[in-house]
Structure formats: structure tokens, C-alpha cells
Amino acid sequence: MVAHHRETDMASQCDACGREIQIAGGVANLWDSTPRQTGGLTLELADGSEFFLCYDCIEQLPENPTRDDVDALRE
């Protein structure tokens, strides 16, 4: 499993739970006295699938997760 940070100042949705995730970075975050932190990561799983997940969903995944494990979080 490989984790990637998204580097833009915007929001996106968790691919599992659908919750909005704040994504930090970008020029707008440079001058902010309280910089925002990204609320999730893009995970590239061993089976080649890739998902952007919030930290709450990531914590629920087993070690060496697969697409099926992420799908199970959606239910």
C-alpha cells in the first residue's frame, strides 16, 4: 500500500464513506496563520486499486487492504 497526499487547497469526498475531506496546501494555505491539514490520503493498494479515504476510514482497514475491504466500508 502506498499513500499519497493531495497538494491543492480544496475539498474532496472520501471514496468509502462519502464524507467531505479538507485538502490542505496550495498558495492560499501559505499565508494562513492556522494552516489546514489534509484530512485523508490517497491509498494505492496492492491489487492496483486507488482510493482517496478519510483518516477514520483508513483506521478501519485491515493490514494489507484490498478493494473488497474498501467496498465493505461503504455498506
Kindly state the average pLDDT of the residues 60-71. 95
Do the beta carbons of residue 67 and residue 16 sit within 8 Å?
A: no
Per-residue pLDDT tens for 10-33?
568 999 999 998 877 666 556 666
pLDDT of residue 65: 94
Task: Give me the phi and psi of 7, to 5 degrees please.
Answer: -115, 55
Residue 72 grid coordinates: 465493505
User: How much is the pTM?
Assistant: 0.71
H or E segment to which residue 20 belongs = strand 20-23
The domain limits of the chain are 2-74
% of the chain with per-residue pLDDT over 90: 52
pLDDT band at 7 (very low <50, low <70, confident <90, very high): very low
